[in-house]
């Protein structure tokens, strides 16, 4: 019996290809070509239109999609754009009937990896498969992490591959060593504090303090004292002088997180500090001159807050000298693979484990997630998976992933059972029957694939099928003996 971990390792030696073409002659030619290719080993799937291709992509992990330019329900370009949005690690090659330079330029501009002119020949297909397999092997085994990191700042690297983050780094490299105020915007978990640390570490202030204050974590009654400090006797409980965060950051950088939560009364004082570089402790009449570089961050729309009179426009423009927007992880999926490897390496250092990477199916599953918690959510998923995995490779079964959107919509469309339709045991058996049947249908009757799809062992799948009275032929319409 082959262990699931061994199966994952074997699957990683395959090149999984989806061919999308409504021409049966072309599909047959490609199948014949693949049969005679000794290297690499290829697992070929087919689809006749874009919608069918999308269903295949939702159900299976692929390394390469080879699509015709013109399809019955759309074009190969539309499919290309869909793939690059959902899983940009998949290689996409478009086949065209005519050698048109304009078409080739458009394909490459849209993110296509290459294009072929039909009719294709065996040698051309073989070169494409070998080239793609070797590229995938390098990406999978090495998972090169492109990091920008200061030598004295090794605990907080910035891991990225996406063009959006490259542009952000370009802005940082040009402005890090200035005194300009920076406003970092983005959803929670996108890495705003990491960016603030990076800016500080690349500046001439790197040897001086980096001080953080999270406005959202402070009650309004303590916010002013926390930011600006107080003198003894300034209010009840002030039994000694206390310097605020601005004074603590003198000569260095103050990172104000969730700046959009600052109440209007304190916004005025913050504006004064930015304008004049002076702070007054509560209860004190003298000004204290400070040299502080301010980096502010928020997940709120300050522009809209200004329009709604919830945030001072003059303070907004003082903070927004250097704007940096961090897109959510779902919009920069090319960063996911590099981040995964970074989190695995960090886990290995802490735990002493030797996790080498992630399986293609697990990576594909992660690429289909929307990640409302962004990088923080991905980090938690990988750490949990690294703890749970029984092999050196994180597999799909180790990840508690949500169903992808299209699959969720299909389930929502199904009629929900009601208490009036029968007793509890009957309803649960009917529900399980439908789940197992759908998994087998989507797997073409392959029980191993169906078991992986729903996250159970093949032995348990067979046992549950027997209990609920499900045969493989019930799902496939095939009267032959059950497939394995």
The answer as to whether 123 is a domain residue is yes
235-245 b/e (C-beta count within 10 Å ≥ 16 → b): eeebeeebebb
Last residue of a domain, one of 312, 329, 346: 329
Q: What is the pLDDT of residue 157?
A: 54
pLDDT in tens, the chain (484 residues): 334 444 444 344 678 999 999 988 888 888 888 888 877 889 999 999 999 999 999 888 899 999 999 899 999 999 999 998 888 889 999 998 766 666 777 888 888 888 888 888 888 888 888 888 877 766 554 443 334 333 333 444 577 788 888 888 888 888 898 899 999 999 999 999 999 999 999 999 999 999 999 998 888 878 888 899 877 776 777 778 888 899 999 999 999 999 999 998 899 989 989 988 888 888 888 888 999 999 999 999 998 999 989 999 999 999 999 999 999 999 998 899 989 999 999 899 988 888 999 988 899 999 989 899 999 999 999 999 999 888 889 999 899 886 544 444 443 444 344 444 445 566 777 778 888 888 888 888 888 778 777 777 777 778 788 877 888 777 766 544 444 3
Both 113 and 189 in one domain: the answer is no
The answer as to whether 376 is a domain residue is no
Structural domain total, the chain: 3
The answer as to whether 101 is a domain residue is yes
- The answer for residues whose C-beta is within 8 angstroms of residue 317's C-beta and 6 or more apart is none
* Domain CATH for 454: 1.10.10
The answer as to whether 26 is a domain residue is yes
40-58 b/e (C-beta count within 10 Å ≥ 16 → b): bebebbbbbbbebbbebbb
Q: How far is the C-alpha of 91 from the C-alpha of 74, rounded, in Å?
A: 19
The answer as to whether 249 is a domain residue is yes
Last residue of a domain, one of 306, 329, 352: 329
Both 131 and 179 in one domain: the answer is no
Q: How far is the C-alpha of 194 from the C-alpha of 165, rounded, in Å?
A: 13
Last residue of a domain, one of 299, 329, 359: 329
Classify residue 217 by its DSSP letter: G
The answer as to whether 348 is a domain residue is no
Both 121 and 69 in one domain: the answer is yes
Neighbours of 353 (CB within 10 A): 14
Both 191 and 306 in one domain: the answer is yes
Both 174 and 295 in one domain: the answer is yes
Both 92 and 174 in one domain: the answer is no
Q: What is the pLDDT of residue 438?
A: 84
The answer as to whether 193 is a domain residue is yes
Both 309 and 431 in one domain: the answer is no
Distances (CA, A) of 140 to 14, 45, 179, 223, 387: 12, 21, 41, 48, 21
Domain that holds residue 135: 4-140
Both 67 and 193 in one domain: the answer is no
The answer as to whether 209 is a domain residue is yes
Whether the CB-CB separation of 382 and 34 falls below 8 Å is answered with no
Both 99 and 174 in one domain: the answer is no
Neighbours of 207 (CB within 10 A): 9
The reply to whether the predicted model has a pTM over 0.85 is: no
Whether the CB-CB separation of 186 and 325 falls below 8 Å is answered with yes
* Domain CATH for 298: 3.40.50.300
Both 177 and 317 in one domain: the answer is yes
- The closest of 126, 118, 160, 144 to 37, measured between CA atoms, is 126
* Domain CATH for 126: 3.40.50.2300
Both 96 and 217 in one domain: the answer is no
Query: Is 279 in a helix, a strand, or coil?
Result: strand
Both 224 and 260 in one domain: the answer is yes
């Amino acid at each position: 019996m082959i262990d699931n971990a061994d199966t994952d390792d074997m699957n990683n030696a395959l090149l999984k290809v989806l061919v999308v073409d409504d021409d049966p002659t072309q599909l047959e030619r490609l199948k014949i070509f693949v049969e005679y290719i000794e290297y690499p080993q290829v697992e070929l799937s087919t689809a006749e239109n874009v919608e069918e291709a999308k269903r295949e992509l939702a159900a299976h992990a692929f390394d390469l999609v080879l699509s015709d330019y013109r399809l019955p329900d759309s074009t190969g370009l539309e499919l290309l754009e869909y793939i690059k949005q959902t899983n940009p690690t998949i290689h996409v090659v478009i086949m065209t009937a005519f050698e048109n330079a304009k078409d080739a330029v458009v394909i490459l501009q849209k993110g296509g990896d290459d294009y072929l002119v039909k009719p294709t020949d065996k040698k051309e297909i073989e070169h494409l498969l070998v080239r793609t397999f070797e590229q995938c092997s390098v990406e999978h085994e090495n998972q090169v992490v492109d990091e920008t990191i200061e030598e004295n700042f090794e605990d907080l690297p910035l891991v990225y591959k996406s063009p959006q983050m490259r542009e952000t780094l370009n802005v940082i490299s040009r402005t890090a060593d200035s005194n300009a105020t920076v406003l970092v915007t983005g959803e929670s978990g996108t890495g705003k504090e990491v960016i603030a640390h990076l800016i500080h570490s690349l500046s001439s202030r790197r040897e001086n303090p980096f001080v953080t204050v999270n406005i959202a974590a402070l009650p309004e009654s303590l916010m002013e004292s926390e930011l600006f400090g107080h003198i003894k006797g300034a209010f009840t409980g002030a039994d000694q002088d206390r310097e605020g965060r601005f004074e603590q950051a003198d000569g260095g950088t103050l990172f104000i997180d969730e700046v959009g939560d600052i109440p209007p009364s304190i916004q005025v004082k913050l504006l004064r500090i930015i304008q004049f570089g002076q702070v007054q402790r509560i209860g004190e009449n003298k000004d204290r001159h400070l040299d502080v570089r301010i980096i502010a961050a928020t997940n709120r729309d300050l522009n809209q807050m200004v329009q709604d009179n919830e945030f001072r426009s003059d303070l907004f423009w003082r903070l927004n000298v250097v704007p940096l927007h961090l897109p959510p992880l779902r919009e920069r999926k090319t960063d996911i693979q590099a981040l995964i490897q970074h989190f695995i390496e960090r886990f290995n250092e802490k735990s002493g484990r030797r996790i080498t990477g992630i399986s293609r199916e697990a990576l594909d599953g992660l690429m289909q997630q929307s990640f409302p918690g962004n990088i923080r959510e991905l980090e938690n998923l990988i750490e949990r998976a690294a703890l749970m995995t029984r092999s050196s490779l994180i597999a799909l079964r180790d990840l508690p992933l949500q169903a992808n959107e299209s699959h969720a919509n299909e389930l929502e469309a199904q009629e929900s059972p009601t208490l009036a339709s029968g007793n509890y045991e009957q309803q649960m058996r009917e529900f399980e029957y439908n789940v197992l049947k759908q998994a087998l249908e989507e797997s073409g009757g392959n029980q191993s694939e169906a078991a992986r799809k729903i996250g159970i062992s093949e032995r348990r799948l067979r046992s549950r099928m027997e209990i609920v009275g499900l045969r493989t032929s019930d799902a496939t319409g095939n009267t032959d003996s059950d497939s394995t």
